[in-house]
Structure 1
């Protein structure tokens, strides 16, 4: 694919060789949003992007860790001025996470309130089995920034509500392998769709996706939009540039 790829949700620090993964990102020319799962991971993960001007690092507190890391919220607030990007944050309604629902909501509310006070952020948001609840919390914090729903798997009605609220979406190869994911993709506004891998957690054929490995997602986008995969990648890159130039979180980062 000749157009630089966009990976708006990648756990760069969780690959077996994070430094090598960052180097390969730079060599490929891919645009990467490296998300974190805890505030304490921020410094080390942000260091991976040093010298690589197409890698940005997001400050996160993953909902699956909310009950264990709620004490890191003061650190989250202290670090927030250093980045325009927040992620991975959100809610998870899976059975193993539901016992900690109160902590999850408390953390997500806190994160969005802090983002609003800081002038808004670009937010990469987890909403597995909790799309309605995520949208409810977002509605309480309209100034938190621009929500990008990562690997959205809600209903068509929830998708329509998210679109009406101004949400963006990041979609990956693992999401578009099934008909349900492709149907959701077809209902997303073309000018608010970005690509992602969710690597190294997401895999195709049992192999974890590498950072920037979004070609299958671009092919699915092209099929959905009746254009070539490369044209889809170009459209996604244009979407990224609009997102990055948005007036949240201070001066726009270069893209």
Structure 2
């Protein structure tokens, strides 16, 4: 019997029919981390997954929404004791987000400080065009927990630094189809790589990836690891179980 699929970063509440997606996840016995983009979305998104223990819901405040949603940090603090996972959080250095960089930093620093005070959390992190800034912030908040860099797109030097710091990585089909993404994944420790979709935002051939639609990513990982797809799948599940045991 093949191992279940692992989707470490999926926006479950943003699919057109999230309850149908939950049923499919339950039927396939996949592991899914359902990330949120605002604290206000966390309660309703958590309720979607009630009765499906393999779906966990992360408490997030997306950096692209930092300016308009920073007022929800109080709610973030109130909900954090109920959330074992935090995300999607981080920083975005893209040209469309630079105008409110100070708001992003304020939000991310607050989130990390709150995680330290709460005893640490597993975080799924956004770091587009801001990998060094994210890593700097993590270093300044020892005790934040475990960092999983989602769809990492930094430089080889930033990757080496993240590995040295003990970061984990989640990679998806959309990332691995590009040469840069595959080259980065080839350098990541096998036992710290998890699969993701980033659905419904990430798409392949114009089709949004569905929750736990990670077979394409596993095929690339199998090639990078010089093994077969079942072995790659087993490795990802083993790594996932190690992560959640922290």
Q: Place the TM-score, normalised by the shorter chain, in its bin.
A: over 0.9
Within-5 A mapping of 1:109-148: 109-148=109-148
The aligned counterpart of 2:211 is 211
Could you give the per-residue CA deviations for residues 133-186 of structure 1, whole angstroms, max 9, x where no partner exists?
110111111210100000000000000000011100000000000111110001
In structure 1, the gaps of 5 or more residues are 247-255
Within-5 A mapping of 1:1-255: 2-246=2-246
Could you give the per-residue CA deviations for residues 39-72 of structure 1, whole angstroms, max 9, x where no partner exists?
0000100001101010000000000000000000
- 1 CA distance for matches of 2:2 and 2:145? 32
Large movers: runs of 4+ above 3 Å: none
TM-score, normalising length: structure 2: 0.99
- 2 CA distance for matches of 1:107 and 1:26? 34
RMSD, aligned α-carbons: 0.7
- 1 CA distance for matches of 2:193 and 2:66? 28
- 2 CA distance for matches of 1:142 and 1:151? 23
Count of residues in correspondence between the two structures: 246
Secondary structure at the aligned position of 2:173 is classed as: coil
- 2 CA distance for matches of 1:205 and 1:26? 26
The aligned counterpart of 1:250 is none
Could you give the per-residue CA deviations for residues 110-155 of structure 1, whole angstroms, max 9, x where no partner exists?
0000001000000000000000111011111121010000000000
- 1 CA distance for matches of 2:171 and 2:160? 16
TM-score, normalising length: structure 1: 0.96
- 2 CA distance for matches of 1:137 and 1:53? 32
In structure 2, the gaps of 5 or more residues are none
